[in-house]
Chain A
Amino acid sequence: SQQGEEDPQALSIQEGENATMNCSYKTSINNLQWYRQNSGRGLVHLILIRSNEREKHSGRLRVTLDTSKKSSSLLITASRAADTASYFCATDAAINTGTASKLTFGTGTRLQVTL
């Protein structure tokens, strides 16, 4: 089963605008990760935020995490047509301590960036 939901399910913006996607999850986590998927192919890792972190930046990406609300957001600034893809959040709840564990993905947000 899916861990949570991304919101919105689909988002259409113009190039240069900012895109914000939200993710909610259900259980306690070690970390939360965001991935991008182009055209139903492989997932590309974007950013990892640990449970004790509240905000993280990577280039045009900004991720926030609110563990009290069990939610995260991904902001893409100054979007480009090449950012068109599906974006997924994934939570890591740890099968065994000290390991990279299974990821539980949300349902994804389909982002369309038009010229």
Chain B
Amino acid sequence: DAGVTQSPTHLIKTRGQQVTLRCSPISGHKSVSWYQQVLGQGPQFIFQYYEKEERGRGNFPDRFSARQFPNYSSELNVNALLLGDSALYLCASSLWREDTEAFFGQGTRLTVV
């Protein structure tokens, strides 16, 4: 079975541009979460989606948005990119129940120049 897949793997953008990152969850997983990991730190929660609805949001500005599609895949959008948005963006999928692990994709490395 395929794991969580993310695309693209690497991306270079210029300040002020917009970026869209994509994630396909493990088959059967209906919950998708997004995390930002800045170099040298642990991942930080951005969004959680379940059944196409936002179920949680971390402390990120409105420049960050996301959505989930009927097939449970998800997109993360970041507008008006700043240098500080350079990070590894991780997508995780999980079952919608308590005490379950999250399965992470390999991430998208975003560099803003």
Contact = CB atoms under 8 A, between A and B. Distances in A.
Contacts, number: 86
A56 interface: no
A11 B44 CA distance: 23
Interface residues of B, number: 35
A10 B94 CA distance: 30
Interface stretch (B11-19, B35-43, B66-74, B78-86): B35-43
Given A99-B31, A101-B48, A48 B41 contact: no
Nearest to A43: B104
Majority SS at the chain A contact face: loop
A31 B56 CA distance: 18
Nearest to B3: A42
B99 interface: yes
Query: Interface size class for chain A?
Result: 20 to 34
Residue of B94, B97, B101 with highest tally of chain A CB at under 10 A: B101
Contacts of B44: 1-2, 105
A21 B102 CA distance: 21
Interface of B: 4, 31, 33, 35, 37, 39, 41-45, 48, 50, 55-56, 58-59, 88, 90, 92, 94-107, 109
